[in-house]
Structure 1
Amino acid sequence: MSYRTALAAVLARAVAPCAEVTGAEGRFPRGAVTAFGATGLLGLTVSTEFGGAGLGLPEAADVVARTARVCPATAAVLRSHYAAVAVIESYGSPWVRGEIAAGRHLGSLALIEDDTGGEQETEAQLLMPHCTAVRSGGVVALRARKCRVVAAGEADSYVWSSRPLGMPDGLSLWGVPAHAPDLYVPARPDAAGPPGSATSTVFADPVLVPSDARLGPDGGGGDLVLGTVLPWLFELGAAASTGAHHFTPADSLAPS
């Protein structure tokens, strides 16, 4: 089955019937996310070695655009997930990559600490974390307030940025499990993001992660943000915007 055939089935069966409630009541589209996982679409960009479809940014953008025509909230969740997976594919553990491919793991980004500016993430917002990282033995304490986190409290892990451990400048990236103690998501979500996308602030006061949870070299996160995260976010954001403003029911649900 092609990914477009699977997508059309998910949009018709799981996304479209709940889209109005998702938008009107701001309810996270958990059923839609589960359906995306069950049909392999959460693992669309995970390599075939770990059970994914092995596809790339063009296919992910197609999925986001077609989903945005039906449910902007679900499209926003997929956008953040696919951008997070692009980092995890390079430096994440084989277990996490396998869980994503199996549809059991939803990722998201926790990179912004300055909530000023417009809807689109900027290079400055993503490259200047204030989050501190302090290592004690094999454990790292991350302390921060992350803004505009999509699927906050709903994702299974966050790609999280901090200052480096061993140098004054730059940033490091971490894979932070959403169930880690001392992560706090307010009951009332932020006004940012489409209603239902669970876009909110995530507080770490601090959150403890193993030192091997780092994604890439210490201080090397800036290159990952510039070379991977930003291109994926911009391309997927453009796809979501185009899809949402060119609503045609036949196109959005047809596999083509």
Structure 2
Amino acid sequence: MSYRTALAHVLTGAVASGGEPARMHGRFPRSGVTALGRAGLLGLTIAPELGGGGRGLAEAADVVARVAHVCPAAATVLRSHYAAVAVVEVCGGAWVRAEIAAGRHLCSLALEEDGPETTARRAGEVVTLQGRKRHVVAAGEADSYLWSSGPAGAGVGPGGRSLWLVPAHAPDLYVPARAAGPGPSGSATSTVCADPVRVPASARLGEDGGGERLVRDLVLPWLAELAAVTDRTDQEPVLVAS
């Protein structure tokens, strides 16, 4: 089954049914996101050998554009998820990539600081992260966050940034309030706090201090393209089925 056929099966059902409650009442489109996962669309860009779709940015943009016509909140969630997964696919472990491929794991970006830069302190194999992130999509709803911080090591030059895959269930990681963020109603865009949060050193994605390059080369291009197709949805008709 092609990804477009799989999308067509869920678009007019669970995704569409969650669109109105999201717009009118600010409800997170959980049923639609779950259906997208079961249809293989959360894992669209994961390698086939791990059960993913093996697709790229063009196909992800196609999915986001089609979903945006039916449920803008779900499209915003997918946009953050796909941009985060672009890094996870390159730097993440096989287990979490397989979970994404199976539709059981939703990622989101937590890169914009709400105050001073998040600090990272390493003691043995444990890293302590402390900081606040704002404008996090699917805050309190995602399974993990692609979280940025200053470098954990002392030997990294100024301006370095590190990336971590932080589990949403980590103790002392919390959403203080479901404040209205810049995203569409129902996208659960809010602040997330690490106060502080301890993660294994293996949660780092890429090199210590190398996060800036990953954001520049992967996250930003994906976000730009996915935002562009979302912005065009009011001007260009998108067919539900092919």
Query: Which bracket does the TM-score occupy, shorter chain normalised?
Result: over 0.9
Whole-angstrom CA distance in 1 between matches of 2:194 and 2:114 = 15
Larger deviation, residues 47-56 vs 12-21: 12-21
Whole-angstrom CA distance in 2 between matches of 1:11 and 1:98 = 24
1:160 corresponds to: 147
Q: Report deviation, 1:16.
A: 1.3
Whole-angstrom CA distance in 1 between matches of 2:55 and 2:162 = 27
1:89 corresponds to: 89
Larger deviation, residues 183-192 vs 104-113: 183-192
**Deviation >6 Å, runs of 4+:** none
1:172 corresponds to: 162
2:213 corresponds to: 223
Q: Report deviation, 1:247.
A: 6.6
Whole-angstrom CA distance in 1 between matches of 2:217 and 2:177 = 34
Identity in percent: 65
- Please report the TM-score for the alignment, with normalisation by the length of structure 2: 0.95
2:105 corresponds to: 105
Task: Give the conservation status (yes or no) of the 8 Å contact 2:77–2:138.
Answer: yes
Show structure 2 runs of 5+ residues with no match: none
Distance 1:179 1:114, change over 3 A: closer
RMSD: 1.3
Whole-angstrom CA distance in 1 between matches of 2:85 and 2:54 = 12
2:132 corresponds to: 145
Task: Give the conservation status (yes or no) of the 8 Å contact 2:177–2:190.
Answer: no
Show structure 1 runs of 5+ residues with no match: 116-128
1:24 corresponds to: 24
Larger deviation, residues 223-232 vs 190-199: 190-199
Whole-angstrom CA distance in 2 between matches of 1:222 and 1:36 = 30
What letter corresponds to residue 150 of structure 1 in structure 2?
V
1:1-256 matched pairs, under 5 angstroms: 1-114=1-114, 130-166=117-153, 167=156, 168-243=158-233, 245-246=234-235, 248=237, 251-253=238-240, 255-256=241-242
- Matched residue of 2:104: which SS? coil
Q: Report deviation, 1:252.
A: 4.0
Whole-angstrom CA distance in 2 between matches of 1:18 and 1:218 = 40
Q: Work out the number of aligned pairs and report it.
A: 239
